[in-house]
Amino acid sequence: MQTIILAVALVSSIAWTNAAQGPLLLPAQESLAKIQRHGYVPFKRHIPSNLNLRGGGKGNVLITGGAGYIGTHCAVTLQEAGYTVMILDNFSNSCKKSIERVGEITGKSIEKVFDVDIRDKAALDKVFKENKVDAVIHCAGLKAVGESVREPIAYYENNFVGALNLIKAMSAAGCKKIVFSSSATVYGNPAKVPITEDFPLQCTNPYGRTKFFIEEMLRDVANADPEWKVINLRYFNPVGAHSSGKIGEDPSGIPNNLMPYVTKVAIGKLEKLTVFGDDYDTPDGTGVRDYIHVMDLAKGHVAAVDKLFSIEGEVVYNLGTGHGYSVLDMVKAMKEASGREVPYVIGPRRSGDVPTCYADAAKAKQELHWEAKLGVKEMCQDAWNWQCKNPNGYREEAELAGAKK
């Protein structure tokens, strides 16, 4: 009589090899009677798909736009969580030095970096054909609201067409797990706050519409093909930097986002801040936003990638703190963090902006087991630390001098 010994592993299953049949898996929850009757249960049916049995780690994650602000912070948190990170970027608004800094923080360099534009379908196909990619975080794209109003065609071409090319390349390679960096701009001007994921979507600018159309495309793809697993992350307003000061937000030219502009004014790189409108229906008349520390946001991406391996179809999550702060609140907080004055003037409202926008992130807390931990004080302290340690961003003084010649 054959003796069967059961061992319960942390993954609630055990594996062994049958000489005739190859690798097999015995789930701990299977009854002994069923096992004796059938002999075994096929290994493939029960192994958790986020386990990389080929040599450690959780799997290979490709970050598009991985040299940028969000991408680099995601790369750090993914590496620290045990994933192998690959980066794809065209470096139009970023540089390779940011990727080197990720390696300095984690102690592990990113070996695969692809200098590719997501509008180049052939180049994308080559990346997926030649590399094993288990999941994608799609961060690449243009992201300035005001610029999108002035140059809508560029935004539709870069953001929407680029995403379409990416989905095609992924599908052809059999890689069907994606976390998409969407935005709270898809909600437009909400009737009330805080905003939950089931709020009506009513974009007020081309940037927001590109995010909305990409979400809809991914939703349709997931509905048509059950192998696709999609998580759309609607982030609110990322600010701050890694506490080491090695990576942070480094916009090309004049910043479009509030906090890098504020830090450049505080350090003396820019003369004054222009506040776009002080006649909104808010406590101090300036726009109110849900500012979230970029490291909290990055950890939300790790939670989303983990979740990809257990969901069905497409899921949406807000990533925010659930608290709204005005432009002048943030100016005051940066003044306290830096000990510097932040001169400002009031300008006209900016086209496409909404008065108030902040999240209800309860769904992410419940299903992703994630919530923002860091407050405005830490956001400003880390943003200031990055600015002081990198007054010219990732560019060295020698590079800047050379560029002026």
Amino acid symbol at 133 = V
Please report how many Cα atoms fall inside a 13 Å half-sphere around the Cα of residue 390, on the Cβ side. Answer: 21
Task: Report how far Cα 57 is from the mean position of its chain's Cα atoms.
Answer: 20
Amino acid symbol at 122 = A
* Distance in angstroms (rounded) separating the CA atoms of residues 357 and 353: 10
CB atoms within 10 A of CB 396: 12
Strands (E) in 153-260, as ranges, are: 177-183, 229-235, 237-239
* Distance in angstroms (rounded) separating the CA atoms of residues 262 and 141: 23
- For 124-145, b where at least 16 C-beta lie within 10 A, e where not — what string? bbebbeeeebbbbbbbbbbbbb
Strands (E) in 312-376, as ranges, are: 313-319, 325-326, 344-347, 356-357
* Distance in angstroms (rounded) separating the CA atoms of residues 63 and 85: 7
Q: Is 394 a catalytic residue?
A: no
* Distance in angstroms (rounded) separating the CA atoms of residues 117 and 172: 18
Residue among 69, 187, 207, 358 flagged as catalytic? 207
Residue 369 burial by Cβ neighbours in a 10 Å radius (0-12, 13-18, 19+): exposed
Catalytic residues: 207
